[in-house]
Amino acid sequence: MASLLWPCSLVFFLVSTATVSSALSLPIPSLRFQPGPWRYAHATFYGDESASETMGGACGYGNLFSSGYGIATAALSSTLFNDGFACGTCYQIRCRGSPHCYGSFPIITVTGTNLCPPNWAQPSDNGGWCNPPRRHFDLSKPAFMQIAYWRAGIVPVMYRRVPCVRKGGIRFLLQGNEYWLLAFVMNVGGEGDVGSMWVKGSNTDWMRMSRNWGASFQAFSRLGGQSLSFKITSYTTRKTIIATDVAPSTWYLGMTYEADVNFA
């Protein structure tokens, strides 16, 4: 079906572009998610140079190497984590205001994949780095070592939210059982986040999924033996895309299926 609809969409796009171009006084709005303003925060690191201790985490991405996120990741303080809605969001970070910053002040781009929980036993300016309302990034050690000397422990940084650049389409790791579908949403481009999601079996109508935790959404329904489509809405911009027939009727639990669409 997607291959049949695409030519029509292309024709509509060309006609619409010609119409808009003829009205030179009308600006053409950008459809891409734009970088945000630079803000102040602090950064620490956890784990070692292998980044093995950063695997898993509160977003549910599991092995960050196999899921495509690698070592360029961060655990976000609860103020940034936003109860999990920030899972998958991307940030540029550069060290500032510390003698431990590298002299060239390099900029790194990381993805939020975990929560840095509060430590109420420590004051926020001495150990409780992720206590609200602090904005804090607990980076993987390899990421931290790209911006500052690791023995510093903690450094002031500037950061801004940026579009996530991903290869390929949105990916869905399916878990659950016969009566319960749990989908982990990964490799989200553009805004990087997911605010709400729906699933449709080849024999059902659209069903709204509830968020389980992190970047996982669930539906309590028997969907076995049906091809699955997903509708995803960004938390930040409320843009919606539809991933049609992502999983074939022969899908099974534990497998990851990739759509042919993504946020730009």
Phi, psi (deg, nearest 5) at residue 120: -70, -15
- Quick one: what percent of the chain has pLDDT higher than 70? 88
Give the type of residue at 88: G
Query: Which residues, 6+ apart, have CB-to-CB distance to 202 below 8 Å?
Result: 226, 227, 228, 245, 249
- Asked whether residue 24 carries a pLDDT value surpassing 80, the answer given is no
Confidence of residue 104 (pLDDT cuts 50, 70, 90): confident
Task: Determine which of 2-6, 216-220, 228-232 has the lowest per-residue pLDDT on average.
Answer: 2-6
The answer to whether 59 touches 73, Cβ cutoff 8 Å, is: no
The model's pTM is 0.85
Tokens of 12: 């509509």
Question: 10 Å Cβ neighbour count for 259?
Answer: 21
Q: List pLDDT tens digits, range 114-168.
A: 999 999 999 999 999 999 999 999 999 999 999 999 999 999 999 999 999 999 9
User: What's the confidence (pLDDT) of residue 31?
Assistant: 65
Domains in the chain, CATH or no CATH each: 39-161 (2.40.40.10), 171-258 (2.60.40.760)
Range 91-107 average pLDDT: 94
Range 4-24 average pLDDT: 33
User: What's the confidence (pLDDT) of residue 54?
Assistant: 85
Give the whole-angstrom CA distance, residue 161 versus residue 18. Answer: 33
Confidence of residue 264 (pLDDT cuts 50, 70, 90): confident
- Asked whether residue 199 carries a pLDDT value surpassing 90, the answer given is yes
User: What's the confidence (pLDDT) of residue 52?
Assistant: 81
Confidence of residue 5 (pLDDT cuts 50, 70, 90): very low
Give the whole-angstrom CA distance, residue 53 versus residue 166. Answer: 23
Which helix (DSSP H) or strand (DSSP E) does residue 159 occupy? strand 155-162
User: What's the confidence (pLDDT) of residue 9?
Assistant: 35
User: What's the confidence (pLDDT) of residue 32?
Assistant: 80
